[in-house]
Structure 1
Amino acid sequence: MNWLRGGDADDDVFNEEGAYVPEHLPEPGAFLDGHEVLTGDDHLAVHAASRERFEEFGVYDATFGYNLAQLNRDTRHPDAGLRYAVDDAAPDVLRVEFTPTTAFCPQSGTLVTGIFRAWNAGESEYRLVSVRVAPMHQHSEATNEKLAGLEERYLETGEVAVEEGSPTASGADDRETGAREDGGSGAPSAPF
């Protein structure tokens, strides 16, 4: 059962760390169309930064119990994970598209919000990291509208907003990411 938590009990479950395996990545979706989709070493460099930020901010997939960046290496889900592109109109903007493992993934909203907050809360070479969930998700339209609102507030204020009454604002359990204030899930607490 260690593989459920992202452990290395079964090395066949995960691609080698630092390997670029395009057949185990989701196809870039509409949010990345017309932009410079990162591949090879460029993809790996940005993805390594994602992994570090997700570790710092507790962006964990509760189903698998691992840092969300690990999903790109999980061979059981070759059509799920993160893809990145540099915005053609604004090269200081990184676009991130998250494709969940299923169209009805209940964690998608929390995960993409966590991605947005983790990337925009600290220093970065990008002025903005814009995040969306892939259109295959059943609630993509509503989720992406919420993300656009977070992005708009961030650009206006320079602050990563935490909505009043949200689990991360109150310190209560964040049941969708599996993170708790006391870290009791085995995942880091979510300070975003």
Structure 2
Amino acid sequence: MSFLGGSEPEFDDENEFVSEHVPKPGAFLADRDVLAGEDHVAVHRHAADAFEEHGVYDATFGYNLARLNLDPRHPDAGFRYAEEADDPTTLRAEFTPTTAFCPQAEPLAVGAFRAFDAVADHGYDLVRVRVDPSLNGSEAVNDRLERLESGDGEVGDGGASDDDRADADPAGVDRTGAQDDDGAGGPTTPF
């Protein structure tokens, strides 16, 4: 039974790429070789593992965010991937939320970035995450993701914005799950 009381849809198999059930690549992936087929499935499997390990869940649907790609009810939402044209050690991941006004889009995209950043088994030196321009306010979200990616937006680095400081973990755990110098600990959710 679904979180909302209906029956669950028949999700696509996690080992299968169903092109009709994933979003079309957006501006962040333009002019790049977008992963499809087995290449997409392999990267997306690592995404699902990273999201599970770091608690990146869609609260509306009650599942690991990577499962959105497998949900036939939302064929225009989820993740698409491409390798950086001039650096195959860099992966681009573009997240398209289910609606243009998705209130979870920013925390989910930041959570996805932090989860990718926290694991190394995906085979890339860097994973760059952005939201699709279809999201209202995507420019601000993507600016934040770019700051996080460059290290300029991390809490405690002196360059963090007020918005990023507001996201600081009051339990004293940084984005990698390491404890602060005072030894305080707490949850290790990515956002």
TM-score w.r.t. the length of structure 1 is: 0.79
> C-alpha distance in 2, partners of 1:4/1:30?
33
What residue is the counterpart of 2:31 in the other structure? Answer: 34
Is 1:24 matched with 2:21? yes
Name the structure with the higher helix share: 1
Cα shift readout 1:81-105 (whole Å, capped 9, x = no counterpart): 0000001011110000000000000
8 Å CA contact retained: 2:35, 2:80:
yes
Matching residue of 2:138: 140
With a CA cutoff of 8 Å and minimum separation of 6, indicate the structure with the bigger relative contact order.
1
The runs of 4+ residues in structure 1 deviating greater than 2 Å are 2-5
Tell me the alpha carbon deviations over residues 99-156 of structure 1, each in whole angstroms, 9 at most, x when there is no partner: 00000000000000001000011224211100000000001000000011011117x9
> Conserved in 2, the CA contact under 8 Å of 1:80 and 1:99?
yes
Is residue 115–residue 190 contact of structure 2 (8 Å, CA) maintained in 1? no
CA distance in 2, matches of 1:65, 1:170: 25
Partner of 1:164: 165
* Amino acid across the alignment from 1:34: D
Report how far residue 17 of structure 1 moved: 2.7
Q: Aligned runs of 1:65-76 on 2, under 5 Å? A: 65-76=62-73
Please state whether the residue corresponding to 1:137 is helix, strand or coil.
Answer: coil
Q: Is the 8 A contact 1:13 1:76 kept in 2?
A: no
Percent of aligned pairs sharing the same letter: 51
Change (3 A) 1:46 1:66: same
SS of the equivalent of 1:104 reads: coil
Query: Structure 2: how far apart are the matches of 1:115 and 1:104?
Result: 18
1:1-192 alignment to 2 at 5 Å? 2-4=1-3, 10=8, 12-124=9-121, 125-153=123-151, 163-166=164-167, 169-171=169-171, 190=189
CA contact (8 A) 2:16 2:38 kept: no
Gaps of 5+ in 1: 173-180, 183-188
Unaligned runs of 5+ in 2: 173-185
C-alpha distance in structure 2 between counterparts of 1:38 and 1:171, whole Å:
38
Whole-angstrom CA distance in 2 between matches of 1:144 and 1:76 = 26
Q: CA–CA distance in 2 between the matches of 1:171 and 1:15?
A: 38
